Amino acid sequence: MRAQPGRSVTSKVLALLDAFSAASPALTLSELARRAGLPLPTAYRRVAELVAWGALERGDDGRYRIGLRLWEVGSLAPRGLGLRELALPVLEDLYEVTHENVQLAVRQGLELVFIERIAGRHAVPVLTRVGGRFALHATGVGLVLLAHAPPEVQEQVLAAPLERYTELTVTDPRRLRHCLADVRRVGYAVSDRQVTMDALSVAAPIRGPEGVVAAISLVVAHDRANPVALAPLVQAAGRVLSRALGGS
């Protein structure tokens, strides 16, 4: 056959972009084709067009990478660099005061995406990456975003198995439900060694006109931390940003 019941061209293009990840930012054509589930000649043609436009770039090593043009377009995402640009001064203030890691994240489906991070040089190292994803049920920002997510999102997260990262990760849906209620009640979230045994994070919501749109957090070494003392700082930063976004 010559043109089997295949997928749409658009889905193939998007599958090619999907093939890239933080772990593998540079791929050969064959790897790309395999990851996207496309025959080699098909991948070849689509990739050639993407390179011509600038969505992909071909390095001197012959491997393909995400192109600057795609970064440019992506930077127009209101919830990406847009939010980032607005929040950066506030994050910097918070960093100046605490000299700890500051993080900004939004919810995307059943996960969170880190929009910005200021990595304190003397602070506890964090594993996350700007542009990276993470589960909603363990981190401080995740708990805030989940606690204020639409009910159907909460139910979906609670229904699925909750991955365990440390012995303190809350994996029981009933306990998590109580935690989320606490987060809503006190107005901030504390994740104490629920992601790694080194670190603790304190997070507060950022509200837009339609509700919570993002969360901000401090990540500190768990033995140096006093969550109750940090919470007001994080909450204050959250409120400044909420006001800037027209939230409550």
Sites of contact with a second copy (CB under 8 A):
8-11, 13-14, 17-18, 20-22, 25-26, 46, 49-50, 53-55, 57, 60, 65-82, 85, 89, 106, 108, 113, 119, 121, 129-131, 133, 210
The entry of DNA, a second copy, none that residue 214 binds, CB within 5 to 8 Å by partner kind: none
The entry of a second copy, DNA, none that residue 28 binds, CB within 5 to 8 Å by partner kind: DNA
- Nearest approach, Cβ of residue 1 and a second copy (Å): 20
- Using the minimum distance from each CB to DNA, give the nearer residue, 8 or 161: 8
Name the CA radius of gyration of the chain, rounded.
20
DSSP lists the bridge partners of residue 205 as 215
- Nearest approach, Cβ of residue 130 and a second copy (Å): 6
- Using the minimum distance from each CB to a second copy, give the nearer residue, 99 or 222: 99
What six digits make up the tokens of 91?
């994050």
- Nearest approach, Cβ of residue 143 and DNA (Å): 34
DSSP lists the bridge partners of residue 105 as 114, 215
- Using the minimum distance from each CB to DNA, give the nearer residue, 8 or 185: 8
Q: Which residues bind DNA (CB under 7 A)?
A: 1-6, 8-10, 12, 28-30, 38-42, 44-46, 62
- Nearest approach, Cβ of residue 85 and DNA (Å): 27
- Nearest approach, Cβ of residue 21 and DNA (Å): 18
- Using the minimum distance from each CB to DNA, give the nearer residue, 60 or 223: 60
DSSP 49-68: HHHHHTSEEE-TTS-EEE-H
The entry of DNA, a second copy, none that residue 168 binds, CB within 5 to 8 Å by partner kind: none
Pairing of strands 133-135, 111-118: antiparallel
- Using the minimum distance from each CB to DNA, give the nearer residue, 32 or 234: 32
The secondary element (H helix, E strand) that includes residue 217 is strand 211-221
CA distances (Å), origin 202, targets 20, 22, 53, 187: 32, 26, 43, 11
- Of 66, 63, 18, 59, give the one whose Cα is nearest residue 38: 18
Q: What is the distance, to the nearest Å, from the Cα of residue 200 to the centroid of all Cα atoms in its chain?
A: 18
Q: Which residues of 150-164 are buried (b: 16+ CB within 10 A; e: fewer)?
A: eeebbeebbeeebee
Contact 54, 68 (CB under 8 A): yes
